Amino acid sequence: MRCKSSANQNLKHKKGLWSPDEDQKLKDYIINHGLGCWTSVPINAGLQRNGKSCRLRWTNYLRPGLKRGTFTAHEEQIILSLHGMLGNKWSQMSQHLPGRSDNEIKNHWHSYLKKKFAKLQNIPPLGTLNKESSSSSSSSLKSTRTGSSIESTDVEPLDYSKVTGLRIPPKILFTDWLSLDQFQLFNNNNSDELSFSIDAFNHTCSSQETIINGGSYRSGIQEGSRVSNMQQSPECQNVEHDFYDLIFEEIIGPNFNINAL
DNA sequence: AACCGACCCAACCGCCACTCT
DNA sequence: GAGAGTGGCGGTTGGGTCGGT
């Protein structure tokens, strides 16, 4: 991981916005030499930047395959779902949104989705989970906020344990986030749709690489294997999208149109 | 036209984990 | 084992833009 540094620590590093010329230099260098030691990149590429700045510029702006422009409703739905489960794990979220950087997701959250999510958490009960508020059964989604003080504080990560009954944080699913515990939990919760979706995912995607911590789930996924969005078949991606829809319903409630906000 | 506040987004900062010497 | 260097991540900031007055 670590590379031998030949960086001149006394070099005065430039800060601020990147010029098109700097972008081109960085892009050319990485295309020709590949990703390696970031501290040597600015020196070899002839840039008066530090390695961190180069890495950030590459991952957030220059990297091939990045989408620019507004987030789609489905992307927002995925972010809301993942945020409910992961909290502010932007880099993990970005793995599930191909073409979106963690910084972009983070910015979008802070500037827009956070408010949308606050609204979602304040809406009257609509979904199955919210119905729980009037009954005594297992899972319910309640805002951790009290009273009317929403706007001055950050939207807290959804207490997923309240939704799922989990006592421990999620470990890994599809690529990284849904844990074996959640697999089992969803099954134990008689969540037929989710179980079906998981089965469908395993059936469709079991030949794909999948990271699973802590051993194999009941189907043939092996520990330590890996799946990434970029490698998934269209069928697999469809199943995953369906799964996000179901997670979204579990967290926010069904029959909810995110575009209505 | 000028001012002001809200918003957006690129980039920086600080911290932590990891690896190497 | 300790210290130093590096990469990665999340929080925060600052400048530009836009809309309202």
Tell me the pTM: 0.62
Instruction: Kindly give, in sequence order, each residue whose CB lies less than 8 Å from that of residue A207, ignoring residues fewer than 6 positions away.
Output: none
**Which of the 25-44 residues on chain A come under 7 Å of nucleic strand C at their beta carbon?**
37-39
Residue A53: per-residue pLDDT: 92
Cα(A166)–Cα(A182) distance, rounded to whole angstroms?
A: 7
> Straight-line distance from CA A2 to C1' B19, in Å?
6
* Strand C contact with A7 (CB < 7 A): yes
Cα(A6)–Cα(A13) distance, rounded to whole angstroms?
A: 15
What is the length of chain A? 261
> Straight-line distance from CA A80 to C1' C16, in Å?
28
User: Could you tell me what percent of chain A has a pLDDT over 70?
Assistant: 40
Residue A95: per-residue pLDDT: 87
> Straight-line distance from CA A125 to C1' C7, in Å?
44
- Crossing angle between the packed helical segments A114-122 and A73-86, to the nearest 10 degrees: 70
Residue A57: per-residue pLDDT: 93
> Straight-line distance from CA A103 to C1' C19, in Å?
26
Residue A120: per-residue pLDDT: 64
Residue A34: per-residue pLDDT: 84
The secondary structure of residue A217, as a DSSP letter, is -
- Which tokens sit at A87? 């909290």
What pLDDT digit, counting tens, does each position of A54-82 carry?
999 999 898 888 887 888 888 888 888 88
Hunting for tokens 């809301």 — which residue is that?
Answer: A80
By C1' distance from the Cα of A95, the closest nucleotide is C9
- Which tokens sit at A46? 């002839």
Amino acid identity for residue A73 in this structure: A
**Which of the 72-131 residues on chain A come under 7 Å of nucleic strand C at their beta carbon?**
88-92, 102-103, 106-107, 110
**Which of the 19-78 residues on chain A come under 7 Å of nucleic strand B at their beta carbon?**
49, 52-53, 56-57, 60-61
> Straight-line distance from CA A18 to C1' B10, in Å?
9
First to last CA, chain A: 45
> Straight-line distance from CA A111 to C1' C18, in Å?
15
> Straight-line distance from CA A242 to C1' C8, in Å?
31
What pLDDT digit, counting tens, does each position of A188-204 carry?
444 444 444 444 444 44
Residue A123: per-residue pLDDT: 44
Which nucleotides in chain B have some atom under 7 angstroms from a protein Cβ?
7-14, 18-21
Residue A115: per-residue pLDDT: 75
- Which tokens sit at A60? 């957030």
- Which tokens sit at A174? 């599809």
Amino acid identity for residue A209 in this structure: E
Residues (pLDDT < 50) of chain A are 6-8, 123-231
